Structure 1
């Protein structure tokens, strides 16, 4: 395993690690994972409208705050992704089914680990402090360009469509110009928001897998040790984490593996907690498909960001750059000198 992959793997988890402890490794054990950054998909017309409206609602505080935290969730997001990686690797070694989303996370470990360094290189702290910050919730205190990037990720399902991004940035800046520092911070900030989204998706993927594993664990317990009181405790814990439905469905799907008496007891227990199993299964399958697509999109976008001609994109959407481009002296400079001037 490469050094990057080893780093992403995080702490080792033995097969004997108690199930409750595995839940705790993914963060707080009494709250569900945060929902993905995913909303209604926008086309050109909607992004044109949204760019204008977002610009008018973004109120900022002065830049230059030396005490401003550098994307306070970034390191925590990376730590969570590493813990999920470790868990999925353990489950893969045990031959458990991970699903497409889990495999995408495992297969792209190196790429995810590289993002932290890329963010820090593209957004050094002295540059980060130049960015105007949002005044109002829900993103108060974070750079305004973070709000711009967040809306983009939400309404593209973590995708990257350059003509659409051109439309969005142009519309935003016709209402309120972004600073040059903000524009050049956009690629790194997109990485930060994509990592935030991947953390949410990865955490939910892992928790759902743990819920199914808990069901298998109970079903595979010897008959004389299998108790419904254990199910009650597991159900309560997994309900707190927002993944109890996956636990219940897995129990239902394997109830025929039990002897007749145990199966009857389990069906009676499930009837009180899973009255509409077909509808729940359809919802979870739809969610899994959407989450898999979001993970694919986010990882594909992270790969594509390095190939974008950001200078050209900004020149086409920034009025200040267009004015400078019309200046013969500026136009005669080398591109690196032009960037320094801007």
Structure 2
């Protein structure tokens, strides 16, 4: 069933499988569905967690049913065997969906205003279309091209991109649920057909009843039942088993035949085998996939920041902090995340253009981080019309007056902790002098408790704020050619010996020498030997460099 059809798509029992598209046609389909979708204005949409829980319950029931058939050594299809053997993967995926899709995060995802997935997240529709036209086969390059093409028309939010793996898992679980139910129902229909065939043929120690088929209604017979019954009665005498002739007549009246029905059923079983295998393989592959790398490869926000700033040189935690700031600003201003990103870049460019000619480049105001997490944030908030929540206003005021606020809070909490026992003691008739002594004695433990409570509260409310950091990258240095090859192999490092002056001289010599070395070698594989060795190497390298320069 296509994602563009009408009706509730979750009410269908048909497998999520449509025409298999090439990568190019899949990109065209992504752009097409992006043009057809409109978003819901306001509202929380329809909940998805009940369907996920129900799918987990249905899959567990199907697993138990098929496992019992295997224990009884009954006939089973390859798809059912794949499902039973890999059910631990399926169960883990269902558990991950429940953990990775909290209600607060789900409410923030944009929902569709129309279509078969009306009220559900837009990213679920994207994942549904991808799974539907790839036969549940996960490939990184294909998914990246699909998402990028979709974002040409409708850019996905940062939260939606992080939800892509969750949405894919939900659709895969939904597809596997439908296939598992189909397998179990087909197995039950075959069992009923075998029981009827035994009754018609007088097997299993019972007398033959050739006319037992008259209670059947051909229009309501499942395909698996009909095919199994045809195969059981095909080689029997038509005179003694008129059921086969009756089946042929009923099938001819409906415009088909027994041979055609068998062919279609075998094709369905083969398609089910392939799809179940693809679902299980995709689940296993996605569990080992680096989704952070995928996210940064398709995010339009990351693309804009990398193009006009040093965003790509930062480590992942810093980049993620920038993205969280953009998300918050977009939610509070009513603008899209891409619009907020462009506004940040515009502010940084204006600051660079206003830099005096004699000033060095790279000032704080020329970096997007200055407007996202530093002192330029109020300027950006005013520019985009950000509405600061009351809780955030209070926290900002508290942070701006950090020392007085911290000490004042400790004093207030200490006073409150002392007030209760002192009031009780006063009500009991204790003298003022005794109350004063009690207050002095209880002051130290009360203040200790107040400090612990305030520290815990401040940590929970504010949280850690790590400084922006550059990402550590592999550094290559140069070294002379080794006798064994152009690049020196790793050697065990030996501790440097000699005085501190010798060690510092050796480090300077080795550092200076690495600049003129012709052959690259990994910095992690270059080891420092003793000081005399360093000096000899440095002298040799310097002599080689001098000879080379004089020759040239």
TM-score (structure 2 length as normaliser)? 0.52
2:251 aligns to what?
Answer: 274
2:268 aligns to what?
Answer: 287
Distance 1:232 1:144 in 2: 51
Matches within 5 A, 1:198-217: 198-217=176-195
**For residues 175-220 of structure 1, what are the alpha-carbon distances to aligned partners after superposition, in whole Å with 9 as ceiling and x for unaligned?**
1100000000010110000011001111111111111111111223
**For residues 53-87 of structure 1, what are the alpha-carbon distances to aligned partners after superposition, in whole Å with 9 as ceiling and x for unaligned?**
1111111114662x741344212212221221122
CA contact (8 A) 1:63 1:129 kept: no
Unaligned ranges ≥5, structure 2: 1-10, 324-552
1:163 paired residue among 107, 119, 141: 141
By how many angstroms is 1:161 displaced?
A: 1.5
Distance 1:271 1:235 in 2: 13
1:57 aligns to what?
Answer: 36
**For residues 19-66 of structure 1, what are the alpha-carbon distances to aligned partners after superposition, in whole Å with 9 as ceiling and x for unaligned?**
xxxxxxxxxxxxx9711111111212212211211111111114662x
SS at 1:134's partner residue?
coil
By how many angstroms is 1:261 displaced?
A: 5.3
By how many angstroms is 1:254 displaced?
A: 1.8
Distance 1:133 1:340 in 2: 25
**For residues 128-180 of structure 1, what are the alpha-carbon distances to aligned partners after superposition, in whole Å with 9 as ceiling and x for unaligned?**
11100011121101100000000000010000121111111111111110000
SS at 1:273's partner residue?
helix
* Count, aligned residues: 304
1:255 paired residue among 227, 233, 240: 233
By how many angstroms is 1:333 displaced?
A: 3.6
Distance 1:99 1:235 in 2: 27
Change (3 A) 1:37 1:260: closer
By how many angstroms is 1:93 displaced?
A: 2.3
Distance 2:131 2:208 in 1: 48
**For residues 274-306 of structure 1, what are the alpha-carbon distances to aligned partners after superposition, in whole Å with 9 as ceiling and x for unaligned?**
341111111111111111100000110011112
CA contact (8 A) 1:63 1:131 kept: no
SS at 2:152's partner residue?
helix
Distance 2:223 2:249 in 1: 13
By how many angstroms is 1:260 displaced?
A: 7.2
- What's the Cα RMSD here? 2.4
CA contact (8 A) 1:68 1:129 kept: no
Unaligned ranges ≥5, structure 1: 1-31
By how many angstroms is 1:232 displaced?
A: 4.9
2:285 aligns to what?
Answer: 304
Change (3 A) 1:166 1:258: same
By how many angstroms is 1:234 displaced?
A: 5.6
1:41 aligns to what?
Answer: 20
Distance 2:70 2:34 in 1: 46
State which drifts further: 137-146 or 119-128: 119-128
Matches within 5 A, 1:32-181: 34-62=13-41, 65=44, 68-181=46-159
SS at 1:158's partner residue?
coil
**For residues 92-146 of structure 1, what are the alpha-carbon distances to aligned partners after superposition, in whole Å with 9 as ceiling and x for unaligned?**
2222111101101111111111112111222222111110001112110110000
CA contact (8 A) 2:169 2:283 kept: yes
Change (3 A) 1:259 1:272: closer
Distance 2:240 2:101 in 1: 59
1:335 paired residue among 316, 323, 327: 316
Q: Which has the larger radius of gyration?
A: 2
